[in-house]
Amino acid sequence: MGERVKSILVFGATGQVATEIRRFEGVTALSRAEADLSNPSACAAIIAQTTADAVINVAAYTAVDQAETDTEMAFRVNSKTPAAMAEVAAKRGLPFVHVSTDYVFNGSGSAPWVEDGPTGPLGVYGASKLAGEQGVQAAGGPYAILRTSWVVSSHGRNFVKTMLRLGAEHDTLDIVADQVGGPTCARDIAACLMEVASQLTVDISKTGIYHFAGGPDVSWAEFAREIFAQAGISCDVVDITSSEFPTPALRPGNSRMDCRKITNVFGVQRPDWRASLTNILTDLKAI
């Protein structure tokens, strides 16, 4: 692993990944009050004045269903602002690391998605994130786009915490079993971002798009069963289809992502989400 970069400016302070990345030394994390991602020029101005060695953007519009009707805001936060930020970073020669999502794919088939595979978002959220990727690439500076999936942690709102609450309240739960992907712990993502930023600072040839997700791939129903097993909760999981649990925005059925590239280029291994889940449950017990 590379030597840690001394100073990193992070957009985002309270989200799952932002909360974890704030644990690292040399990080200056900006809250929404300090950096409003709905204001592209204001965020770009911050980068223009920063003394940091690299910039990481973990802030985003992540309300997948709400994005279907709040389209303009989703595109502003997820596309226009990252593009404006990346343009200024490029002018200053600062590496720009940006978090994206499995939702840029259409979720077809069963093969893991590779970085240069065909994209095809199913909804506004995925389309806005894809447009953000394209804006970052067009800026022309050193960048790394990290696509990840199914983010969980001991804080914020996420699937693990929801299952712990519902599992304690019910004897059985109907959980979608035809969506498959890699649960990814926010702490693992934060560590990955720091490593990528550090290496990109000294070797801009590593510029590109990378996939990073927990393994092995599972369905939401299988994920729920493991959560209950590790937490000691007696709740039966009943497999259902996505059509039996309709949502305003379509979810990709196949969110499997090929993570070999990031290992080959940065030496970052795909984490085992089951071990990360154990750590999350330990953290929750300590709260």
Catalytic residue list: 125
Tokens 């002018």 found at = 91
Cα gap 233→162, rounded to integer Å: 13
Overall residue count recorded for the chain in this entry: 287
Neighbour count for residue 216 (Cβ, 10 Å)? 12
Cα gap 282→287, rounded to integer Å: 9
Cα gap 174→238, rounded to integer Å: 5
Beta pairing class for 180-181 and 218-219: antiparallel
Of 96, 23, 112, 94, the residue nearest 58 (C-alpha): 96
Q: How far is CA 247 from CA 65, 75, 156, 180, 252, in A?
A: 7, 20, 21, 17, 12
Answer yes or no: are the C-beta atoms of 177 and 239 closer than 8 Å. yes
Three-state SS at 218: strand
Residue 136 — φ and ψ, nearest 5°? -65, -45
Cα gap 241→259, rounded to integer Å: 27
Classify residue 187 by burial, with Cβ atoms within 10 Å: 0-12, 13-18, 19+.
Answer: buried
Of 78, 85, 58, 83, the residue nearest 128 (C-alpha): 78
